[in-house]
Amino acid sequence: MIDEIGESDWLTPFRRWYDAAAAREELAEAMTVATVGRNGRPSLRAVLLRGLDERGFVFYTNLDSRKAGELAENPRAALCFHWKSLARQVRVEGGVERVADAEADAYFAGRARESQLGAWASDQSRPLPDRATLERRFAEAAARFSGYERVPRPPNWSGYRVVPERVEFWQELPHRLHDRLVFIRDGARWRRERLYP
């Protein structure tokens, strides 16, 4: 129940809910990211949360992808975590910034080698003539880096941090009398509001 949230900022209760979800759900780190490009049309996709602290929520992607292009045009995003087993949801809205190169390098170095090679092989979101082309490019990347102890991070691959301005906690309750609590950034502080379901 949301009454357990007594903190004056969003991070501690989010971590508590996230840890509870991670104990019960296979992909608790999955979040839907919504972006809007210059054309005003929203698009969304599921990505994985790969970093979390008081600065915000981090995910990684190809910088030539559709979402990266939309973030270049409009550096704002919305996130949604939905944990069905807990009947809970967290929604986030805020500005977006690129992570530092050192942060992206550290994360990339910890990925499985096959995932690192896949980042080199894929022109994410671009038309692909056939599956064989992608598999050939993966084999070429594997050959190119076969003598390397570490696969370097591609120059067009990095991370984004969604810097929250609004974080809403939603708990399902009977009779659609759901519980909602939102944290809204107000300068350097956070204010809390309870919302009708």
> Which residue is listed with tokens 């995910």?
59
Q: Does the pTM of the predicted model rise above 0.75? A: yes
pLDDT at 9: 87
DSSP 27-52: TTTEEEEEEE-TT--EEEEEEE--EE
At residue 20, φ and ψ (nearest 5 deg) are: -65, -40
Closest CA to 67 of 160, 129, 134: 160
The tally of domains found in the chain comes to 1
Q: Which residues of 179-188 are buried (b: 16+ CB within 10 A; e: fewer)?
A: bbbbbbbeee
Report the alpha-carbon distance of residue 39 to residue 36 in Å, rounded.
Answer: 8
The pLDDT score that the predictor gives to residue 3 is 65
Whether 116 is in a domain gets the answer no
Mean pLDDT by 10 residues, the chain (197 residues): 76 96 97 95 97 97 96 97 97 98 97 95 91 94 92 97 98 91 94 93
Non-local (6+) Cβ contacts of 59 within 8 A are 31, 33, 47, 48, 49, 50, 51, 159, 160, 162
Is residue 86 included in any domain, yes or no?
A: yes
Q: Which residues contact 169 (CB under 8 A, 6 or more apart)?
A: 2, 5, 13, 14, 17, 88, 89, 90, 179, 180, 181, 182
Domain that holds residue 52: 2-111+156-195
Q: Distances in Å between the alpha carbon of 69 and those of 76, 88, 160, 183?
A: 12, 31, 12, 29
In-domain check, residue 74: yes
Query: What pLDDT was estimated at residue 124?
Result: 87
Report DSSP letters for 81-139, one per residue.
EEEGGGTEEEEEEEEEEEPPHHHHHHHHHTS-HHHHHHHHH--TTS--S-HHHHHHHHH
Domain membership of residue 123 (yes or no) is: no
- Cβ contacts of residue 17 below 8 Å, gap of 6+? 83, 86, 88, 90, 169
In a domain, 144, yes or no: no
In this prediction, residue 5 carries a pLDDT of 76
- For the chain, helix (H) and strand (E) counts, in that order, are 5, 9
Residues with catalytic function: 176
CATH of the domain at 13: 2.30.110.10
